[in-house]
């Protein structure tokens, strides 16, 4: 009997990106090293067109490729975030790679293939497709972390990320094998049906789930699987760090959410305490460890760990409102972080990148617009109203209170207060310390546009929040309807 040809329409963004990546690779080979800027702009165009294809999907839930791939409103929402984040990261990287002698056409193409893996992760409906998507992303990320071959820090970052990433893949594969052994299937739908039928989960299945969750926790740098984050963030080229801080985090949170809610939703009592513990530890470490940092990229690394902890508060509830809070949080987190890293990429003195927090001294007097943008992002990350970051925390904490997770919500609020110290310290350095020398003028139009756009979003989100709030609610409902 001839197998039915799979429905390709739900996977059109992935198919398009795969074809575009191969075409751009050939273009770069034939045009030579001088084609980097053209390849980068074509990469941005391909990513944005893939976002357009995702938005054009429509509604409903479609499973294709023999149950390996799923597309729904949840997938559309998260894919658009990933594609927007990746396209912004490519634009932000252009000036840097040209200045730092990293001007090779493979750089934006590797970011494109990493994004392709992220899209596959978001639509994974089986432990096998989950792993394929995860490794497609990871292999590209290992390379771009070490892309600056003449830098010891970059090589060290790539090696650390590779070794610890391989360890996390082992945990994930071992957990997947246990799930398959005790459930008899790797398909999310079949696991959900098995558990929904009243079957009591065996100890082996629970242990398998713990290993899968541990492997995915590494990808979002949640405590206690965060150890790679500060070193990789500091050592990797700054635009790579900006990319790591947003797109892979959004994709991994989406994957973790789908895995826990869809196949293992009926085992919420088994995984909820794991997520709560990881959330509390991530919020606490992100708040306290960042206080002593002097390098702004390391500070942003601990900040991202803390933000993942806040997002996990929403996931820990296991409710539709909690998942909605996670989606809102990740959407706002994306723009805050892109904007903050855009400012960090503008920290140049006489053509040389600087990374110490003290280098921001007196920035309000030497470059008031850049200082104002950074202040807005810092206020937002601290969760101070009416910035967008306040609303991101508000919705996850409200969901936690509604689900009865009062202690978790209280700890979240307290760690937010502690975290506000190091965000406000940066503002104090910019506005009250004596200048140590101004930064070079921002001449990159793309970077200026990103700074203006992300600043406007962060500052004015409270005026028109409905589009993101409503779309997040629809996306969360689709996940639970599945």
pLDDT at residue 5 in the model: 65
Is 142 domain-assigned?
Answer: no
In this structure, is residue 435 part of a structural domain? yes
pLDDT of residue 479: 87
Give the pLDDT score at 99: 80
pLDDT on residue 411: 94
- In angstroms, the CA 416 to CA 228 distance is 23
Backbone phi, psi, residue 62, to 5°: -125, 130
Is residue 115 in some structural domain?
Answer: no
Measured between alpha carbons, how far is residue 444 from residues 127, 448, 471 in Å? 43, 6, 33
Question: What integer pLDDT is reported at residue 443 of this predicted model?
Answer: 67
- Paired with 353 in beta bridges are 348
Whether 21 is covered by a domain: the verdict is: no
Q: What is the pLDDT of residue 482?
A: 59
Cα 381 to Cα 415: distance, rounded to the nearest angstrom: 12
Can you give the three-state secondary structure of the chain, one letter per residue? CCCCCCCCHHHHHHHHHHHHHHHHHHHHHHHCHHHHHHHHHHHHHHHHHHHHHHHCCCCCCEEECCCCEEECHHHHHHHHHHHHHHHHHHHHHHHHHHHCCCCCCHHHHHHHHHHHHHHHHHCECEHHHHHHHHHHHHHHHHHHHCCCCCCHHHHHHHHHHHHHHHHHHHHHHHHHHHHHHHHCCCEHHHHHHHHHCCCCCCHHHHHHHHHHHHHHHHHCCCCCCCCCHHHHHHHCCHHHHHHHHHHHHHHHHHHHHHHHHCCCHHHHHHHHHHHHHHHHHHHHHHHHHHHHCCEHHHHHHHHHHHHHHHHHHHHHHCCHHHHHHHHHHHHHHHHHHHHHHHHHHCCEECCEECCEHHHHCCHHHHCHHHHHHHHHHHHHHHCCCCCHHHHHHHHHHHHHHHCCCHHHHHHHHHHHHHHHHHHHHHHHHHHHCCCCCCCCCCCCHHHHHHHHHHHHHHHHCCCCCHHHHHHHHHHHHHHHHC
Over its length of 482 residues, how does the chain's per-residue pLDDT go in tens digits?
344 667 788 889 999 999 999 999 999 888 877 788 899 999 999 999 999 998 887 667 888 888 899 999 999 999 999 999 999 999 998 888 888 777 788 889 999 999 999 999 999 999 999 999 999 999 999 988 888 877 787 888 888 888 888 888 999 999 999 999 998 889 988 888 888 876 677 888 999 999 999 999 988 888 888 888 888 888 888 888 899 889 999 999 999 999 999 888 888 888 899 999 999 999 999 999 988 888 888 999 999 999 999 999 999 998 899 999 999 999 999 999 999 999 988 887 776 777 888 888 888 888 889 889 999 999 999 989 899 999 999 999 999 999 988 999 999 999 999 999 989 999 998 888 888 777 767 767 788 899 999 999 999 999 989 899 999 999 999 888 75
**199 falls within a domain:** no
- At residue 249, the pLDDT reads 92
Distance between CA atoms of 133 and 122, rounded to whole angstroms?
A: 8
Report the alpha-carbon distance of residue 350 to residue 236 in Å, rounded: 21
20: Cα within 13 Å, side-chain hemisphere: 26
Q: Over the range 162-184, which residues count as b (16 or more CB within 10 Å of their CB) and which as e?
A: bebbeebbebbebbbebbbebbe
- Helix 127-145 to helix 152-183 angle (10° resolution) is 170
Q: Is residue 202 part of a domain?
A: no
Q: How do beta strands 348-349 and 69-71 pair?
A: unpaired
State residue 418 phi and psi, 5-degree precision: -65, -45
Domain count, the chain: 1
Range of the domain at 438: 269-482
Residue 229 placed within a domain: no
Q: What is the pTM of this model?
A: 0.93
Residue 71 β-bridge partners: 62
Examine residue 187 and state whether it is found in any structural domain, yes or no.
no
**Which residues, 6 or more positions from 200, have their beta carbon under 8 angstroms from its beta carbon?**
none
Phi-psi region of 355 (alpha: psi -120 to 50; beta: other; left: phi over 0): alpha
């Amino acid at each position: 009997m001839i197998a039915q040809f799979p429905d390709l329409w739900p996977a059109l963004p992935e198919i398009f990106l795969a074809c575009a990546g191969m075409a751009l690779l050939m273009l770069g080979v034939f045009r030579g090293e001088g084609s980097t800027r053209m390849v980068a702009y074509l990469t941005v165009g391909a990513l944005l067109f893939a976002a357009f294809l995702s938005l054009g999907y429509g509604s409903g839930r479609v499973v294709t490729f023999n149950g390996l791939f799923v597309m729904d409103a949840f997938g559309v929402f998260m894919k658009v975030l990933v594609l927007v984040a990746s396209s912004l990261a490519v634009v932000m990287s252009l000036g840097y790679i040209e200045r730092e002698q990293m001007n090779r056409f493979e750089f934006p193409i590797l970011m494109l293939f990493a994004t392709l893996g992220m899209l596959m992760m978001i639509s994974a409906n089986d432990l096998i497709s989950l792993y394929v998507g995860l490794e497609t992303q990871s292999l590209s990320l290992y390379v771009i972390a070490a892309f600056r071959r003449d830098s010891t820090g970059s090589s060290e970052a790539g090696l650390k990320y590779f070794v610890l990433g391989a360890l996390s893949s082992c945990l994930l594969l071992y957990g997947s094998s246990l799930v398959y052994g005790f459930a008899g299937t790797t398909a999310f739908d079949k696991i959900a049906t098995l558990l929904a039928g009243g079957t009591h989960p065996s100890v082996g299945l629970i242990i398998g789930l713990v290993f899968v969750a541990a492997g995915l926790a590494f990808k979002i740098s949640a405590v206690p699987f965060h150890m790679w984050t500060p070193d990789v963030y500091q050592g990797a080229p700054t635009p790579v760090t900006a990319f790591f801080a947003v797109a892979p985090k959004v994709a991994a949170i989406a994957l973790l959410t789908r895995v826990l809610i869809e196949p293992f939703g009926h085992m919420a009592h088994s995984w909820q305490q794991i997520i709560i513990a990881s959330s509390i530890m991530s919020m606490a470490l992100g708040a306290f460890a960042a206080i002593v940092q002097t390098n702004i990229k390391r500070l942003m690394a601990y900040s991202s760990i803390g933000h993942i902890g806040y997002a996990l508060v929403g996931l820990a509830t296991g409710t539709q409102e909690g998942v909605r809070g996670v989606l809102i949080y990740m959407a706002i987190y994306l723009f805050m972080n892109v904007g903050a890293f855009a400012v960090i990429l503008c920290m140049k003195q006489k053509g040389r990148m600087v990374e110490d927090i003290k280098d921001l001294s007196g920035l309000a007097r030497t470059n008031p617009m850049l200082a104002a943008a950074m202040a807005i992002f810092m206020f937002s990350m601290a969760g101070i109203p009416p910035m967008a970051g306040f609303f991101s925390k508000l919705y996850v904490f409200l969901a936690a209170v509604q689900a009865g997770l009062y202690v978790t919500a209280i700890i979240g609020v307290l760690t937010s207060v502690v975290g506000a110290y190091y965000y406000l310290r940066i503002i104090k350095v910019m506005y009250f310390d004596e200048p140590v020398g101004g930064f070079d003028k921002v001449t990159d139009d793309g970077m200026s546009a990103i700074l203006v756009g992300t600043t406007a979003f962060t500052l004015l989100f409270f005026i028109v929040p409905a589009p993101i709030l409503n779309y997040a609610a629809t996306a969360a409902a689709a996940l639970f309807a599945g």
